[in-house]
Chain A
């Protein structure tokens, strides 16, 4: 039961400063455009907050051919996957990132092999809802999501889209309720990133066979049985290994209901 509102709020309010700059090769004018600074929520996705960026840079590129092109982002030569929450991306590249985060904006030469196309926000919405469904299948065998109405899905999406904490959580809390308080979720939905494009998913129960609550340490042991001294990074912090899995899943999950743990 996600009732630790203080933690939820702190996580929700987590935003990072990003400095967007247009790729110098795509500038068609003598004087390039100014970099665009923006505070982006960690829980959101890049396509949801780059409307202004596109608008700002679109008039500085070749007007005839590229304006209809899809915009994509790059950091340190690496295309950024739009379907990862921004916080996840930051955590993945946290070793190289200095805030504000310098991201290069591209319109040309879309990296077809690396990125999925994202024509509009409906694509993000579809992906987001599919993630929620996947998580709910893991937690409640999909029963909660199935019982929800369309407007609840819309409310989840618009809450995330418009950065409305209460709107989001009034629906999300149903997803975070365990059907059995003692047992908690059936499985904990999590992704453990070992590198920027690889993550590990396993079926991990919040309690062990004796009915005791598992902690992060147990999870890491299950996922990486060979490596004992493993720490993970999420939401920009290193959660203590004693943190219970059920609580972690309820409170530290991203809006897509997954725990995104990055191996350090």
Chain B
């Protein structure tokens, strides 16, 4: 009983200490654990959330940064800016190159100017030389013309020589000059005899002597003459020397030839001289003039190696014949053969021959 009691009491005591212990433990857990557990777990969840959010935030910041960087490298505005900067750089470079080129160009201009001056100098020198050569050319041309003139003169001389040669040959064609001369002298002798007879006839007539030519010739040939001492008419015929005078055989007309290359006809009457006409055509002084027997033609010999024939009535040049020599004398003979004479030669030409030769 006591044992059972003690057992019961021990059991109840055991239960007491156990109950006490459990209660204490429960109380402890209630006080220390459960009231904090929710709070702490909530806090931990919040902490984790904060951490995850922080991580996310960091990730987002990073991605944002990368995006911004991408945007910065990709957006048009900034790229335009960069583009502009690049263009600016390029332009600056271009400017530098242009400046450099400008300097080169200036240098080139200076060089070119120098060259230009040199060229100008050369040009001047060349112009001078050109002028010299032009002068030389003119001189040469002058010389050429002189040479041509000389050649022409020489040709003329040659022509004259040829003419002379021809004339000589022509003279030779009259069988021989001596025979011709003999023939002429004979003729003259006959005429002289005839004239003596006429003279004798005339002496018997005792007529006043007319100053005609034949009678003059008779005088020359036969009678003594007196030198006139009194001047009946004085007049200025030519501008320069008077080389030749001749009376017309039919009229009271006088022909004069002068240094002014003219042949002039004068009417002499009543103590005065009246100019009837001027015969032009000679290229040098007229050395000798003569009328033909009819008084219709005038023969003039000029210093230009030519002899010319004019008609008295209308003062026109009928024949101009250049001889091969300088004529100082010529005359129509009675039968109208032209006598030509130069310093060494005496040439007789029939009148028809002269004309025939020309026409």
Contacts and interface: CB of A to CB of B under 8 A. Distances in A.
B328 to A, nearest CB: 151
Given A36-B47, A243-B17, A17 B25 contact: no
Nearest to A240: B17
Given A14-B28, A37-B44, A39-B40, A237 B21 contact: yes
Contacts of A27: none
Contact of B33 (A39, A239, A243): A39
A214 to B, nearest CB: 13
Given A10-B22, A242-B16, A236 B36 contact: no
Contact of A17 (B18, B24, B39): B39
Given A13-B33, A100-B36, A242-B17, A237 B47 contact: no
Given A16-B36, A37-B44, A244-B14, 8 more contacts: A14-B28, A17-B39, A38-B44, A39-B36, A236-B28, A237-B27, A237-B28, A243-B17
B4 interface: no
A236 B25 CA distance: 8
B25 A11 contact: yes
A94 to B, nearest CB: 10
B20 A240 contact: yes
B41 interface: yes
Interface of B: 13-14, 16-18, 20-22, 24-29, 32-33, 36-37, 39-41, 43-44, 47
Nearest to B28: A236
Given A6-B22, A237-B21, A13 B29 contact: yes
A7 interface: yes
5 contacts: A7-B21, A7-B22, A11-B25, A39-B37, A239-B21
Interface in A127-179: none
A237 B25 CA distance: 6
A4 B25 CA distance: 13
A42 to B, nearest CB: 9
A181 interface: no
Closest 10 CB pairs of A and B: A237-B24, A17-B36, A240-B17, A10-B25, A236-B28, A242-B17, A39-B40, A37-B43, A15-B33, A243-B17
Interface residues of A, number: 27
A59 to B, nearest CB: 11
Main secondary structure of the interface of B (DSSP, over half): helix
Contacts of A39: 33, 36-37, 40-41
A37 B40 contact: yes
Given A240-B20, A242-B13, A242-B16, A16 B33 contact: yes
A75 B267 CA distance: 185
Contact of B37 (A4, A15, A238): A15
B308 to A, nearest CB: 147
A219 B267 CA distance: 213
A227 B25 CA distance: 27
Contact of A235 (B20, B28, B39): B28
B311 to A, nearest CB: 154
Contacts of A239: 17, 21, 24
A30 interface: no
Interface in A1-55: 4, 6-7, 10-11, 13-17, 34, 36-39
Interface in A200-256: 235-240, 242-244
A11 B25 CA distance: 7
Contact of B29 (A10, A38, A238): A10
A14 B32 contact: yes
Given A39-B41, A240-B16, A243-B17, A16 B32 contact: yes
Interface string A105-129: 0000000000000000000000000
A7 B25 CA distance: 8
B20 A236 contact: no
B34 to A, nearest CB: 9
Nearest to B37: A39
A39 to B, nearest CB: 5
Nearest to B13: A242
Nearest to B41: A39
Contacts of B32: 14-17, 99, 236
B33 A238 contact: no
A243 B19 CA distance: 11
Contacts of A56: 47
Contacts of A34: 47
Nearest to A238: B24
B190 to A, nearest CB: 177
Contacts of A17: 32, 36-37, 39-40
Contacts of A99: 32, 36
A145 to B, nearest CB: 28
A14 B20 CA distance: 17
A14 B28 CA distance: 8
A34 B47 CA distance: 10
B18 to A, nearest CB: 8
